[in-house]
Structure 1
Amino acid sequence: MTVPGSLAQRIFLLAHDPAKGRVRIGTNLGAMVRAAALADLYLQGHLTDERGRATPGGRRPCADPVLATLLDDIAGSRPRKWQSWVDRRQRATVVAVRTQLGDEGWARVEPYRILGIFPATKVTLRDPRARKELLGRVRSALKDPISRVEPADAALVAIVAAGDLGLVLSRRARREAKRRIQELTDVSGPIGPALRKSIEASAAAAAG
């Protein structure tokens, strides 16, 4: 079964609750999608880690338009920590990834109005098997020898765990697989810790 090419799209599919037909309220979708886009750029060699900061590395063109926009933003800015890039433009990135899923045929994206007033968007997965395949990859990454886990799947687990996506990994599952999740996080680079810091900072700001 094929799945979307980018980690950002894959995270969106995993965050989509089939029972509710939408992403649950309270899900850290924006932060996770941004982190996934950064992980893609890092794993593809478009970004490197320089003293804890995201730095463009490599001259190959980036074919994915969502990733290319993020890469251009980073290239045109002063060096910033990974968390800073997770924090920025979350909503715009979610909208771009959602549109991408619709354009590429993974989902049906339909605008509507809540109570006839407030604009919203309904997302319906066209083939639930794609999400099931991604769930299978998460499970395999937690069990297979670390040398056999694709870096993209390692990043998928790292982002799901750091983003507290209970729909995919419950708190108990994360606790039981804590050591393995850390190994996968180490494989996938600086993104997991940056996502965790971003979510913790947002929670602290909301509580304050």
Structure 2
Amino acid sequence: MALPGSLPQRVYLLAHDPAKGRVGVWTELGAMLRAAALSDLRLHGYLTDADGRAAVNGRPTVNDPVLAGLLAEIAATRPRKWQHWIGRRHRATVVAVRDQLGAGGWVRLEPYRMAGLLPVTRVTPRDPRVRKELVNRVKGTLRNPVGRVEAADAALVTIVSAGGLSLVLDRKARRDSKRRLAELSVLTGPIGPALHKSIQAAHSEAG
């Protein structure tokens, strides 16, 4: 089955709750999408790790507008820690990925006003089987031998776990798969731990 090509789009679809018909407001969606974009850029060789910091590798040209925007942010300043880039521009990234899914035909976007006042957008996947396939990929990644796991799938599972997306991996599943998740995190590099630290820092500030 065809799936969205980028990790941010896949994470967004996984965060959509079929029972409630919306993306859960309780998710750390912005942070997860930023981490997913960083993972995509790293997997394609556009970013490298320089002493715990994200560094642009050469002068790459990226066609995906969400990834290109993040790469431009990173290129415009000195190398900073991965956590720094995960913690920025959450709302803008969520909207950009949502609109990208809409333009690609993966979701239907319906603007309306909540209580007749607040402008919001209803997001409805056009084919529920796409999300089911993504959930199956997550579960398969936890079962299959590490040597047979695709790097993108390892990154997807690591982000879902580090982001605490219980809709896909609840606390019991994460606990039961603790050893495998640690192995996948090694394959994913610095981004999983950086996502976890970013969310913890945000919660500390909010508290």
TM-score by length of 1: 0.98
- Larger displacement relative to structure 2 (99-108 or 73-82): 73-82
Equivalent residue, structure 2, for 1:55: 55
- Structure 2 residue 120 is matched with structure 1 residue 123: no
- The amino acid of 1:17's aligned partner reads D
Distance 2:165 2:27 in 1: 7
Equivalent residue, structure 2, for 1:18: 18
- The amino acid of 2:52's aligned partner reads G
Aligned partners of 1:45 and 1:58 also within 8 Å: no
Aligned partners of 1:113 and 1:119 also within 8 Å: yes
How far the C-alpha of 1:63 sits from its partner, in A, is 1.3
Distance 1:31 1:94 in 2: 9
Equivalent residue, structure 2, for 1:175: 175
Equivalent residue, structure 1, for 2:88: 88
Distance 2:129 2:57 in 1: 35
Deviations 1:72-101 (A, max 9, x none): 110011211000000011110110000000
Distance 1:205 1:161 in 2: 22
Tell me the C-alpha RMSD between the 2 structures: 0.7
Q: 3-state SS of the aligned residue for 1:121? A: strand
- The amino acid of 2:69's aligned partner reads T
Give the 5 Å matches for 1:183-202.
183-202=183-202
Aligned partners of 1:56 and 1:71 also within 8 Å: yes
Q: 3-state SS of the aligned residue for 2:123? A: strand
Aligned partners of 1:32 and 1:163 also within 8 Å: yes
How far the C-alpha of 1:38 sits from its partner, in A, is 0.5
How far the C-alpha of 1:25 sits from its partner, in A, is 2.1
Give the 5 Å matches for 1:108-119.
108-119=108-119
How far the C-alpha of 1:61 sits from its partner, in A, is 1.4
Kindly tell me the number of residue pairs found equivalent between the two proteins.
Answer: 207
Equivalent residue, structure 2, for 1:9: 9
Give the 5 Å matches for 1:62-101.
62-101=62-101
What is the identity percentage for the equivalent residue pairs of Structure 1 and Structure 2?
63
Distance 2:182 2:118 in 1: 41
Q: 3-state SS of the aligned residue for 2:72? A: helix
Q: 3-state SS of the aligned residue for 1:100? A: helix
Distance 1:127 1:91 in 2: 25
TM-score by length of 2: 0.98
- The amino acid of 2:5's aligned partner reads G
Deviations 1:22-57 (A, max 9, x none): 011211001001110011001110000000000001
How far the C-alpha of 1:111 sits from its partner, in A, is 1.1
- The amino acid of 1:37's aligned partner reads A
Q: Which runs of 4+ in 1 moved over 2 A?
A: none
Unaligned runs of 5+ in 2: none
